[in-house]
Structure 1
Amino acid sequence: MDQQTFQQAIGLLSGEHSLTILRSLRDGNWHLSSEVARTLDIHTTTASKFLQRVADLGLVERQAHDSRTFEYRLRSSHLRFDVDLSDDAGPLREVVDFYVVYFQSLFEKIRSFGAPAIQTEMEHRLTTDHQELRRAVFDQMIVGAQGGIDYLRELVAEVHRDLWSVCAQGLGEVPAKGVFQAALRDAMSVYPDLAYRCGLTRPLES
């Protein structure tokens, strides 16, 4: 775990209901935030916001329950933190690699649909309309400029929304969702721990 993620985790776990919410997940089963809130007699918003944030940090697992809600579970009843104190910048190069795998897989799957117009438009959006992302990859990962993982996630989220719009309009939302989810699975299969630890799937789930 990088130092930034560790600081965020400590801040979250110091909250009033944090440990009781986590203990409610220790049976290893999937739970809705509303169910947790009802069991603990707390506001649903309190449980929902906390679970969303700890899931972003990779401390709990999250999966879609339906189109509007998620459910959560603990992979283990023990939380352990392995903090890398030698790396001040965090695993930025590995984060870039994760997103490279994701976008490569995404474009490969679009090509397999045999939709050259959609592919061309998506490539144009990525290479022409989002120069800031390319500059950030160079500045932050190669030169070592400030900004870090959070800034990169924001840029990726913007690109993701743009590419999703093109793909959904061209293929339809259901086929497009299948393509994007398959690309995400490919990236997570290569970097599963990194994806959870650094919240890399967050900009790709919207």
Structure 2
Amino acid sequence: MVPMDEKSFSQAVALLSGEHSLAILRYLAPGEWRIASDVSRALHIHTTTASKFLGGMHALGFLDRRPRRAHTRSAFEYRIAAPRIALALDLTEGPAPLRQALDFYLDYVSHVLARGRRLGWPAIAEKLEARLDRDGSGSRDGLFERIVRGGDARGMEELRSVFHGIHDEFLQITSASVGTETARRLLAGAADEARKGREQVVDRYGLRKVLEA
């Protein structure tokens, strides 16, 4: 049995917990090829309900599927792939995605600088850039090479620590010019923009939390 990732596991649980799921599986248990309308007629359920379940279970690998050979409109036939259905969830962390984490943090920095300029605060942007230049934190390749030397777990911990410190200094710099509440909104907005498209990595490894004042 191949363990599922979290998304596939959640989809399987949702499908199998449906009102008609077990009845449909029992109907398919003999192993014969069936189309959605067969299931609908046999169990007195809507064809759309049967079709969604069959398609979803096929996508997860629990049902075989083939085009139906007929002169009428085309349809897919399904049969159960194995008489036993079991779910296995892989909870191991695996290697920490350091490159994706670094990209998130550097995008956060870029969004902070861009927001400062866009809002007409060039002095703030200059101070923030000076902070980054002080230790080379804005250099993607240099910082990545330094972080990965610590290994996956230690590297991720160090990366969070580095940008937690940068965030704190960003907050101090911007607060001195525009006030603490405005500064917090500016930094939070930049973090939200950087999170888009990489939500799973950011949330799983707590990358966003270190950017919260």
Query: Which range, TM-score by smaller chain?
Result: 0.5 to 0.7
Picking from 85, 97, 112, the partner of 1:106 is: 112
Alignment partner of 1:174 is 2:181: yes
Match of 1:21 in 2: none
Cα 1:187–1:82 shift into 2, 3 Å: farther
How many residues are matched?
A: 121
Alignment partner of 1:161 is 2:193: no
| Cα distance in structure 2, aligned partners of 1:99 and 1:184 | 8
Deviation at residue 190 of structure 1 after TM alignment: 2.3
Picking from 184, 197, 200, the partner of 1:193 is: 200
Deviation at residue 82 of structure 1 after TM alignment: 4.4
Cα 1:132–1:120 shift into 2, 3 Å: closer
Cα 1:149–1:118 shift into 2, 3 Å: same
Alignment partner of 1:83 is 2:92: yes
Match of 2:146 in 1: 139
Contact map agreement 2:106 2:138 (CA 8 A) in 1: no
Match of 1:11 in 2: none
1:108 partner letter: A
Deviation at residue 108 of structure 1 after TM alignment: 0.7
Contact map agreement 1:133 1:155 (CA 8 A) in 2: no
Secondary structure at 1:114 match in 2: coil
Contact map agreement 1:133 1:152 (CA 8 A) in 2: no
2:175 partner letter: A
Cα 1:133–1:154 shift into 2, 3 Å: farther
2:109 partner letter: F
Cα 1:151–1:173 shift into 2, 3 Å: same
TM-score (norm 1): 0.53
Match of 1:95 in 2: 101
TM-score (norm 2): 0.51
**Unaligned runs of at least 5 residues, structure 1:** 1-79
Secondary structure at 2:177 match in 1: helix
Identity of aligned residues (%): 23
**Unaligned runs of at least 5 residues, structure 2:** 1-88
Cα 1:201–1:131 shift into 2, 3 Å: same
RMSD value, Cα: 2.1
Q: Looking at both structures, which has the greater relative contact order when contacts are Cα pairs under 8 Å and sequence separation is at least 6?
A: 1
Deviation at residue 133 of structure 1 after TM alignment: 7.8
Structure 1, residues 31-88: CA drift from partner, whole Å, max 9, x if none? xxxxxxxxxxxxxxxxxxxxxxxxxxxxxxxxxxxxxxxxxxxxxxxxx654354x3x
